[in-house]
C-alpha cells in the first residue's frame, strides 16, 4: 500500500489542518496509507550553518530532524501544508527545510510527488507556492499540484484538478508526469556544482549514475529539454571555479 506523509507546519490545528484533513479523506478513499505529522510536536532546531551535514551527511544537532527526514525518504508521496506568514511559508516550515540542506547537494527524494497546500487571510499564496517550489525542486521531487485556500473558502471542496495529478503520479510511478524546464535547469546547476565543487557530492552523483545524465529520469526529457540542459551544463561546468572548501 502506498504511503503518504502529510506535514502540517502551522503551530495550530486550524485552517491549514482543516484543508489537509479534507485532502486526507480523499486520499484515504483511494486506499493509501496516510500519516499526518504536525511539526509542532517535534523538536526541530534552527540550522547552525556549520555545513557539517554537507560534508558528513549527518547533522550535528541532536533533535527529531533525522527521524523526520527518514519518514520523508520512506513515503511514496508528500503533502506539505503551511499558513501564509508575511506573504511566505511559516517560519516552522522554513526552519525544517533549512535542515534538509544536504538533500540540495545530494537529493534522495527524486521522483516523489509533492502536493503543496497553503492557507491565508488573503494575500501571499502565489509567493508562498513560488518560494516553496524554488526550494523543493532541489530535493528532486515532482511538485504536481497546489491547493490554496483563503479563510473565507477553507471548506471549499478539493477540486479534481487539485488532487488527480497527485493520485495519477502515485498510481503510475510518475509515468503520467511531465518534467518541467525548471526541474531540468535546476538539475544542471546541482550537477555542475557536484562536478566542480564538493568531492562528496561528485562521488554521490557518480554512484547514482546521474553525473552524465540530463536528468534523473532522462526518458522524461524531450528534445528541447535535452538541448537546453546540455548547453546550460556545459556553460556552468566551464565557469564554476573550484573552491578550496574544507570543514
Ligand atoms: C504571523 C502571521 C503572519 C500572517 N501573515 C499573513 C499574510 O502575510 N497575509 C495574509 O493574508 N494572512 C496572513 N496571516 C493569516 C494566516 O495566513 C491565516 O490565518 C492562515 O489560514 C492561518 O493558518 P493556520 O490556522 O493553519 O495557522 C498571518 C498570520 C500570522 C499569525
Is 85 touching ligand 1 by the criterion CB < 6 Å?
A: yes
User: Which helix (H) or strand (E) is 229 found in, with range?
Assistant: helix 223-239
Domain annotation covers residue 35: yes
In a shared domain, residues 75 and 160: yes
Is 82 touching ligand 1 by the criterion CB < 6 Å?
A: no
In the reported structure, the alpha carbon of residue 160 is separated from the centroid of ligand 1 by a whole-number distance in angstroms of 26
Residue 246's pLDDT band, with cuts at 50, 70 and 90, is low
Domain annotation covers residue 176: no
In a shared domain, residues 158 and 209: no
Domain annotation covers residue 205: yes
In a shared domain, residues 127 and 27: yes
Domain annotation covers residue 244: no
In a shared domain, residues 74 and 194: no
136-to-55, 60, 72, 132, 234 alpha-carbon distances in Å:
21, 23, 13, 6, 24
The domain boundary, picked from 116, 145, 171, lies at 171
Q: What's the pLDDT at 206?
A: 98
User: Averaged over 150-175, what is the pLDDT?
Assistant: 96
CB 141 within 8 A of CB 109: yes
Q: What's the pLDDT at 247?
A: 62
In a shared domain, residues 193 and 155: no
Domain annotation covers residue 110: yes
Residue 243's pLDDT band, with cuts at 50, 70 and 90, is confident
Q: What's the pLDDT at 203?
A: 97
In a shared domain, residues 7 and 92: yes
Residue 165's pLDDT band, with cuts at 50, 70 and 90, is very high
Is 12 touching ligand 1 by the criterion CB < 6 Å?
A: yes
Q: Which of 113-122, 172-181, 186-195, 237-246 has the lowest mean pLDDT?
A: 237-246
In a shared domain, residues 135 and 57: yes
Annotate 10-24 with b (16+ C-beta within 10 A) or e (fewer): beeeebbbebbebbb
Domain annotation covers residue 18: yes
User: Averaged over 137-158, what is the pLDDT?
Assistant: 97
Of the candidates 211, 209, 210, the residue with the CA atom closest to the CA atom of residue 237:
211
The domain boundary, picked from 171, 202, 219, lies at 171
Separation between Cα atoms, residue 192 and residue 186, nearest integer Å: 10
Q: What's the pLDDT at 242?
A: 78
In a shared domain, residues 22 and 141: yes
Does 244 score more than 70 pLDDT? no
Structurally, the chain folds into a number of domains equal to: 2
42-to-39, 45, 81, 98, 105 alpha-carbon distances in Å:
6, 9, 16, 15, 25
Helix (H, G, I), strand (E, B) or coil at 105: helix
Domain annotation covers residue 246: no
Which residue's CA is the closest to the ligand 1 atom numbered 28?
85
In the reported structure, the alpha carbon of residue 6 is separated from the centroid of ligand 1 by a whole-number distance in angstroms of 20
User: Averaged over 141-155, what is the pLDDT?
Assistant: 97
Helix (H, G, I), strand (E, B) or coil at 235: helix
- Nearest atom in ligand 1 to 82's CA: 26
234-to-79, 130, 188, 191 alpha-carbon distances in Å:
35, 27, 9, 11
Q: Please write the tens of the pLDDT for every residue from 33-61.
A: 999 999 999 999 999 999 999 999 999 99
Query: In the predicted model, what is the mean pLDDT of the chain?
Result: 96
Domain annotation covers residue 123: yes
Separation between Cα atoms, residue 75 and residue 27, nearest integer Å: 14
The domain boundary, picked from 137, 171, 205, lies at 171
* Sequence-ordered list of residues with C-beta below 8 angstroms from that of 88, at least 6 positions apart, any chain: 94, 124, 127, 128, 131
In the reported structure, the alpha carbon of residue 180 is separated from the centroid of ligand 1 by a whole-number distance in angstroms of 30
Could you tell me the residue range of the domain that residue 153 belongs to?
Answer: 3-171
**Which residues pair with residue 6 across a beta bridge?**
36, 79
In a shared domain, residues 94 and 210: no
Of the candidates 245, 231, 137, the residue with the CA atom closest to the CA atom of residue 192:
231
Residue 89's pLDDT band, with cuts at 50, 70 and 90, is very high
In a shared domain, residues 87 and 57: yes
In a shared domain, residues 157 and 87: yes
CB 190 within 8 A of CB 210: no
Which residue's CA is the closest to the ligand 1 atom numbered 8?
86
Is 38 touching ligand 1 by the criterion CB < 6 Å?
A: no
Is 40 touching ligand 1 by the criterion CB < 6 Å?
A: no
Best residue among 7, 10, 18, 85 to mutate for probing ligand 1's pocket (most ligand atoms within 8 Å of CB) is 85
Which residue's CA is the closest to the ligand 1 atom numbered 25?
15
User: Averaged over 80-93, what is the pLDDT?
Assistant: 98
Does 118 score more than 90 pLDDT? yes
CATH number at residue 83: 3.40.50.360
User: Which helix (H) or strand (E) is 146 found in, with range?
Assistant: strand 142-150
Q: What's the pLDDT at 241?
A: 86
Q: What's the pLDDT at 146?
A: 98
User: Averaged over 221-228, what is the pLDDT?
Assistant: 96
Q: What's the pLDDT at 104?
A: 97
Does 101 score more than 90 pLDDT? yes
Does 67 score more than 90 pLDDT? yes
In a shared domain, residues 79 and 165: yes
Amino acid at each position: 500500500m502506498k504511503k503518504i506523509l502529510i506535514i502540517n507546519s502551522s503551530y495550530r490545528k486550524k485552517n491549514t489542518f482543516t484543508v489537509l484533513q479534507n485532502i486526507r479523506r480523499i486520499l484515504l478513499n483511494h486506499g493509501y496509507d496516510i500519516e499526518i505529522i504536525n511539526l509542532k510536536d517535534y523538536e526541530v532546531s534552527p540550522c547552525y550553518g556549520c555545513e557539517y551535514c554537507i560534508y558528513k551527511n549527518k547533522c550535528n544537532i541532536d533533535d527529531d530532524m533525522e527521524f523526520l527526514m527518514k519518514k520523508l525518504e520512506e513515503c511514496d508521496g508528500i503533502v506539505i501544508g503551511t499558513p501564509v506568514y508575511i506573504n511566505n511559508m511559516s517560519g516552522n516550515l522554513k526552519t525544517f527545510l533549512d535542515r534538509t540542506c544536504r538533500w540540495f547537494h545530494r537529493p534522495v527524494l527524486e521522483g516523489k510527488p509533492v502536493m503543496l497546500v497553503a492557507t491565508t487571510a488573503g494575500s501571499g499564496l502565489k509567493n508562498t507556492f513560488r518560494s516553496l517550489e524554488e526550494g523543493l525542486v532541489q530535493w528532486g521531487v515532482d511538485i504536481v499540484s497546489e491547493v490554496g485556500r483563503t479563510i473565507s473558502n477553507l471548506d471549499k471542496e478539493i477540486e479534481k484538478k487539485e488532487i488527480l495529478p497527485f493520485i495519477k503520479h502515485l498510481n503510475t510511478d510518475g509515468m503520467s508526469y511531465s518534467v518541467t524546464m525548471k526541474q531540468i535547469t535546476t538539475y544542471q546547476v546541482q550537477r555542475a556544482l557536484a562536478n566542480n565543487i564538493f568531492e562528496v557530492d561528485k562521488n554521490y552523483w557518480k554512484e547514482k549514475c546521474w553525473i552524465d545524465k540530463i536528468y534523473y529520469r532522462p526518458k522524461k526529457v524531450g528534445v528541447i529539454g535535452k538541448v537546453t540542459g546540455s548547453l546550460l551544463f556545459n556553460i556552468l561546468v566551464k565557469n564554476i571555479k573550484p573552491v578550496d572548501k574544507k570543514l
